[in-house]
Structure 1
Amino acid sequence: MVTSIKGGEKAIDASHRIVAKRRRGDPNVARLSVEQIREQLSLAVDRVMNEGSLYDPTLAALAIKQSEGDLIEAIYLLRAYRSTIPRFGFTKPLDTAAMLVRRRISTTHKDIPGGQFLGPTYDYTHRLLDFSLMQDEEDEDGLPVQAVEQGGSLTLRHDAGFLNRTDLVEDELPADDRPVADLTREPMNFPSSRDQRLQNLVRGDEGFLMGLCYSTMRGYGRNHPYVAEMRHGDVSVTLDIPEIGLEVGIGTIGVTECRTIHLTVGKPDIPPHYTRGYGLLFGHCERKALSVAVVDRALRGAEFGEEKRYPSQDEEFVLSHSDSVAASGLVQHLKLPHYVDFQAEQQLLKQLREDYNKRARRAASKEHDHD
């Protein structure tokens, strides 16, 4: 129960002014611009876009600035804004096989068709503070990565090596004509469909999902994955305009796609094979894409006759608790006034204690009479 209050407008206005002053910080330090956040804090921007369900780097950067870097608050701001935007059409499914690749790796094979492209990654960096970043001057390390050298102009087929050409891995699910679920307009249903689950996971809190992924790898889910392919790059967005009978490209967006494979003993009537997990997210967010793919596979356990024993396999637990905005709202409402609730609870507690004391006195009286 969220308790509403009346009055206190002056105090609230004063709080807003204090927040604005704290956000600005020392006036002798240059103001941080939205453009700087968008261009130099791109990984934070990508996370806010994913969990805010809106691809707009500039608005995500504005939300980060407005929230003083509190990403959950920024996600909340972006979702609130998204709810005010009219919908005028539906784009076609993204063709990630036609992605202009900036980064692409596979952990199942060293040599894969098209090659491996390390691209931008922190995977091989030393976790040491780089004090040269405290300097204001630009240096050679700030030069942009050349897309052509990193394979940015290549179109690479999915998955690695021979796996797609054997029956070792389950087939990709065929496309169908069912309407795709939209969690921004419709509530989650249980049992859920996979498209609902994947949307929920993309909108879910990265830390929560990473913890669930970690739990499966430590034995709470029998779900150790291999990364068949991780790719990051740009894909075209196409809009179908039925009035003129044309499909029109309306731009490109950056995405990260992760495909995992998992050894599955399976049902008694099906031979052991590899099954799939999948994650597709805005921007460059490999850690979350991998977490989404692993949790996606964990939630598919019923398809393969696996017993539901662990949190990562329970769709109601995972999907009902992964949303950072919902979680933050319920947790932070505890800071609002609960005077009436607390007084009612105190009265209940007082009555319970009186009942307890009466029972204790009766019990002591009976024991005394028995003696």
Structure 2
Amino acid sequence: MYVAVKGGEKAIDAAHAWLAERRRGAKEVPELSIAQIREQMTLAVNRVMAEGSLFDPDLAALAIKQARGDLIEAVFLIRAYRTTLPRFGYTLLVETAKMDCIRRISATFKDAPGGQVLGPTFDYTHRLLDFKLAAEGSLPDAPKAEPHIGPVPHITEFLNKEDLIQQEPANDKEPRDLTREPLDLPADRALRLQSLTRGDEGFVLGMAYSTQRGYGRNHAFVGELRIGTCAVEMEIPELGFAIEIGEVELTECETVNQFTGSKTEPPQFTRGYGLVFGQTERKAISMALVDRALRWKELGEENVGAPAQDEEFVLYHADNIQATGFLEHIKLPHYVDFQSELELVRKMRAEAMGTMQEAAE
């Protein structure tokens, strides 16, 4: 018979010690430093910062090291730490048009004003293993493009001049802060975008891919993808003006989508939007596609029942920390719950066997 058992504190301490040993790995191999992770695993660091809602490369690198490379666990650590930080206020809107771009491309306009900047990307590599990296030596220096310093206009603004793309309505309403209050539906676009930028990259990517395969009305072009640093400014009441308190690296994507019009809107292009910490372009593009799919109601479109059009389905399942907590809790002790179900099944089985025996007689 199954019985409830009690766990031991010594067993838990031993598990922690074993975890620390596995985290360190073989002693003859040099230990990874936080600086190495921060500088050489930047895309992993960027994902942890984005989904953890905290821009701090050093802390994200520490979380990755502590989590043994499990990025979802690292995101969990960052979010938990984030809750301990005081909130001093909110910054001013970040002016992405003033971004110092290290990468800026458009799939819709070949001769984009300001030029196309390919930047550091895997897009044009052959996806072949580079065994030179295994030699642990530095690669030869190669010429690289310098970041574009100064304002670069958004490409979609040129469609604005011909009134060919939907104008984004001005919204002076202060958006709700998803990091300080739970998600509540129905969500406005600002809250949806917050949820998507914190959402699991794989889930958001899957939702975006589903729209491209026909599960939703979403034929998109990348109007512009830009990556670079933006100044962060904050108003200081004692001073009476705003000062720059730092800068953040961001990835911004605007998609241009076909729109045949509705009862209230003429035929025109519409937008999808994504904005994420760090160089996280796959997430930003995915976010833009899902953002556009979720706008069906405000654009007067038909809901064809696609998963990416279902606000509750997308937003409630995008958060990998919430999903992980609910999923992994089932491996923790459920002895009492199982005992009750075990007894119920035994009782039902006995009754069923008795009925079958009576029928046979």
Task: With the length of structure 2 as denominator, give the TM-score of the two structures.
Answer: 0.94
Aligned to 1:10: 10
Aligned to 1:256: 251
- Contact 2:119–2:145 (CA under 8 A) maintained in structure 1: no
Percentage identity across paired residues of the two chains? 55
- Contact 2:221–2:257 (CA under 8 A) maintained in structure 1: yes
Aligned to 2:26: 26
Aligned to 1:56: 56
Aligned-partner Cα distance in 2 for 1:96–1:241: 22
When the two chains are superposed, the root-mean-square deviation of aligned CA atoms in Å is 1.9
Q: AA paired with 1:93?
A: L
Aligned-partner Cα distance in 2 for 1:39–1:185: 31
Aligned to 2:161: 165
Alignment of 1:86-235 (within 5 A): 86-141=86-141, 145-147=144-146, 151-160=147-156, 162-176=158-172, 178-235=173-230
Give the gaps of 5 or more residues in structure 1: none
Q: AA paired with 1:71?
A: L
1:241 maps to which of 211, 219, 236:
236
Q: What per-residue deviation string (whole Å, max 9, x for no partner) do you get for residues 67-103 of structure 1?
A: 0100000000000000000111211010001101111
1:353 is displaced (CA, Å) by: 2.9
1:304 is paired with a residue whose SS is coil
Question: Are 2:326 and 1:341 equivalent residues in the alignment?
Answer: no
Give the gaps of 5 or more residues in structure 2: none
Q: Mark the CA change 1:160 to 1:193 in structure 2 (over 3 Å): closer, same or farther.
A: closer
1:7 is displaced (CA, Å) by: 4.5
Aligned-partner Cα distance in 2 for 1:45–1:124: 23
Q: Mark the CA change 1:144 to 1:111 in structure 2 (over 3 Å): closer, same or farther.
A: closer
Aligned to 2:271: 276
1:349 is displaced (CA, Å) by: 1.9
Alignment of 1:73-92 (within 5 A): 73-92=73-92
- Contact 2:99–2:151 (CA under 8 A) maintained in structure 1: yes
- Contact 1:106–1:160 (CA under 8 A) maintained in structure 2: no
- Contact 1:91–1:239 (CA under 8 A) maintained in structure 2: yes
1:164 is displaced (CA, Å) by: 2.1
Q: AA paired with 1:46?
A: N
2:302 is paired with a residue whose SS is coil
Q: What per-residue deviation string (whole Å, max 9, x for no partner) do you get for residues 231-273 of structure 1?
A: 0000000011122211010011100000011112232343221
1:307 is displaced (CA, Å) by: 2.7
Number of residue pairs matched?
A: 357
- Contact 2:5–2:335 (CA under 8 A) maintained in structure 1: no
Aligned-partner Cα distance in 2 for 1:253–1:144: 25
Q: Mark the CA change 1:351 to 1:166 in structure 2 (over 3 Å): closer, same or farther.
A: farther
Q: AA paired with 1:314?
A: D
Aligned-partner Cα distance in 2 for 1:204–1:269: 32
